[in-house]
Structures are given as C-alpha cells and as structure tokens.
Amino acid sequence: MLYMVGLGIYDEEDISIRGMKAIEDADEVILECYTSSWKGRDGLKKIVDKDVEEVERSDLEESSVKILERAVDRDIVILVPGDPLVATTHVEILIQANKMNLETSVIHSSSIYSAVSETGLQIYKFGKTTTIPIPRKNYRPVSPYEVIGENKEQGLHTLALLDITNRPMEVPEALGYLTEIENEKKEGVIDCEQKAVAFSAGPGKSRVVYAKIAEMLDMDFPTPAVLIFPGELHEKEEEALETFSEEIHE
C-alpha cells in the first residue's frame, strides 16, 4: 500500500497523529524536500525509529514506477512538506498507482495555501498563484508580473511563492525582480506606492508585514516567505492586515 503523508509547513512537530502512525507502521519511509524549505529533516530522523530515504525530484517525477513496484507487497510512505497534493505534481503518482491497482491513502496536513489566511485576507478572494524565480542565465520569466496583473484586473489577491532553488529567495530580491519588469513594461502592475504583504509561517507566531512596496525593498524579513499582492480589499481585510502587521524597522 502507498501512503502520501503531509508534513505540515514548518517542522516535524506539524506531523499529525495519523501521519505518525502511518510512518511507524510502514516498511519503507521516503522523504522529499525539494518542493519546500521544510525545517524538520533532522528532527524527523530522531523521532522515527527506522531509516528515512531522502529522494530527489527525478526519483518521484521520472522514476516513480520503481517506488510503486515496491508498494505492491510492502507499505511505503512518501513524506511531503506541507500538504502532499498542494503545489506539487504528486497527484501523478496517485494516478500511476491507480493504474497499477495499488491501494493508496492520502494523509493531509497544513499548507501555505491555508496558512496565508492568518494575514486576514479571505482565501476565496485569491486568484491564480505564481512563483517568483531567482533569475539565472537565460532565465528571467515575466509570467509572475503577468499573473499579478491579471488577478489585479479581476480584483483578486495574488499569492506569489518565492523560489527556493539552492536557497530561499529574499523578499526585497523578489520585489526588485518585479519592479525591474515594471520599469521595462510600464503597465502599472507594480506600483511602489501601493501596499503588499510579506508572510512567513513560523512554529508559533507567524510574521506579517503590510506596507508600501517602496518600504519593503530594503526590508529584513525571515525566509522562507511568500508575497501577497492584494486585490480589492473588504474593510475587514484591511482592518485585519493593519492589526496583524509588524512595523518595519529601518
């Protein structure tokens, strides 16, 4: 049997009791951490009394059949940061398992998609999500700018995930990326006098800053983080943002 278990958004203490039971009963435990900057690797290995095999993207996206073949007569758990089926391609593994007539179980957990509600923004008012990349040679997509613009036209909030390839992207770095595109395209999508939200989910109290983009360009903010570009705000959303936001200390 194949289990896909969500690890939650911070560390090993976010794992549910149901998830821990699946881990304890499993014949094999597989961990992927390429989709998130999850902080519980070492802690997990201390509380799990068995080997935890850490895999790369190619192991799950290109060679998943090898893992599924082992699940024919063994209980295998795949551990995924956040929720196992949010912002990943892991649903493809379940499709493949179904084709092989394998029994599967998904154990859900907390995700950044639900955690951002802690800002006070209403989750049903979010539009399409985008990811702001760390620019590399011959790779500087404008799609994040375009997604923010499309959502803005519809009055919707935009959740912008920040790249974690090799290292977590900094909030000012992400905003600088977008302002550079704005300076080129001049479509009014990113206005440095308008406010945005920086959010970082923590083990206890999360961090929220709601401020003008110009003020956030030099801000020191914990990573991993996300940015939110608000659309049309209900008065209660505005009140919540002002209530929960920290002041920026220069």
Q: What is the mean pLDDT of residues 167-187?
A: 96
Residue 159 region, left (φ>0) first, then alpha (ψ -120 to 50), else beta? beta
Q: Can you give the residue ranges of every domain in the chain? A: 2-110, 113-244
Task: Using alpha carbons, list the distances in angstroms from residue 67 to 102, 166, 168, 184.
Answer: 12, 26, 29, 47
The Cβ-side half-sphere exposure at 110, using a 13 Å CA radius, reads 18
At the top level of CATH, the class of 113-244 is alpha beta
pLDDT 10s digits, 61-71: 778 888 999 99
Just give the CATH number of 2-110: 3.40.1010.10
| pTM of the shown model | 0.91
pLDDT 10s digits, 121-146: 999 999 999 999 999 888 899 999 99
**What are the DSSP calls for 140-208, one per residue?**
---HHHHHHHHHHHTT-BEEEEEP-SSSPPPHHHHHHHHHHHHHHH--SS--TTSEEEEEE--SSS-EE
Q: Which residue has the higher pLDDT, 159 or 46?
A: 159
pLDDT 10s digits, 220-242: 999 889 999 999 999 999 999 99
Residue carrying the six token digits 């977590």: 168
